[in-house]
Structure 1
Amino acid sequence: MAVSKDEIKEALGQMPVLELVDLIKELEDEWGVSAAAPVAVAAAGGDAGASAEEQTEFDVVMTSFGEAKVAVIKAVRAITGLGLKDAKDLVEGAPATIKEGVSKDESEDVKKQLEEAGASVEIK
């Protein structure tokens, strides 16, 4: 029996973030593909102004948890809604993406919260 796209999306939506990351890595290894976004190559001689679009989605990446690991875990739990173990694993796995595809305002807010907790954070 074939599984529909909606059933797959629903099942993936119920999985914790760390399990999704592991699943993606397993699929990349098994199928020999990469989930990385393709790099856009600018056409030679094209209009430079047209290709320079403003970025609208940002990823918040924690590069290290610093000296206050417990405070950073609490902040990650508050930001992501993860359980204690998942948040701890995510923090200890730094560098780690905390939020993906968020607005500039939200990414700045998440960065501020994590930095106040003691983490080193980048917005990409």
Structure 2
Amino acid sequence: MNGIRIMKGLQWRSFSRCAILRQEVAQAAPSLTIPVPEGVDKPVSPKIEKIVSEITTLNLLEVSELSQVLKKRLNLPDAPVMPMGGFAMAAPAAQDEEEATPKAVKTSFTVKLTKFDDKQKVALIKEVKSLLEGFNLVQAKKFVESVPTVVKADVSKDEAEKLKEALTKVGGIIEIE
């Protein structure tokens, strides 16, 4: 008989524990929220809504003062001010880096025939024929008449200067890039 009473007492305790747990879960359930689907504005608490509506009524000076007070109270560092142009402040920093690093020396150049003197056209065609390998007289003539054209690309500075000097003597106007 005592065994039955003990069993009923244990059953009662476990039943009462279940009831207490149910009550706790029922009380906690209102704090659980269902996530808001995409594209729908998330509901805002009335307290936040009130603060936002009060802030939107402030003028520019009051907003500045509010910002300073919040920075002090929340211990926030001053954020850098972005100019109207966006990232315009980043350009001088990049310029400083370029000055600090040595500039790369250009090793390959392109020789370009931009114009020529019509009076010396024949001499220029002959010079192009002799300077450029594999050109016959007809190809050299078409080459000269199709200015602006690249005479040679990816050449050393010395070779580019020699080509410029030779073609300039016969009426060509040359650019080295």
Q: Which has the larger radius of gyration?
A: 2
Gaps of 5+ in 1: 1-42
Number of equivalent positions: 82
The answer to whether the aligner puts 1:98 opposite 2:98 as a matched pair is: no
Match for residue 161 of structure 2? 108
- Distance (whole Å) between structure 2 residues aligned to residue 65 and residue 87 of structure 1: 14
Q: Report the AA paired with residue 84 of structure 1.
A: L
Please list, as runs of the form range in 1=range in 2, the aligned pairs for 1:36-115 lying within 5 A after superposition: 45-46=93-94, 47-49=97-99, 50=101, 52-66=103-117, 67-81=119-133, 82-115=135-168
Please state how far the C-alpha of 1:51 moved relative to its aligned partner: 6.7
- Which protein, 1 or 2, shows the higher relative CO under an 8 Å CA cutoff with sep ≥ 6? 1
Which structure has more helix as a fraction of its residues?
Answer: 2
Equivalent runs, 1:29-40 vs 2, <5 Å: none
Query: Secondary structure of 2:154's partner?
Result: strand
Q: How far apart, CA to CA, are the structure 2 residues paired with 1:89 and 1:51?
A: 43
String of CA shifts for 1:25-69, please: whole Å, max 9, x gaps: xxxxxxxxxxxxxxxxxx953420437211110111111121211
Q: Secondary structure at the match of 2:104?
A: coil
With the length of structure 2 as denominator, give the TM-score of the two structures: 0.43
- Structure 1 counterpart SS, 2:153: strand
Aligned-residue CA RMSD in angstroms? 1.7
Amino acid corresponding to residue 110 of structure 1 in structure 2? L
Aligned partner of 2:98: which letter? A
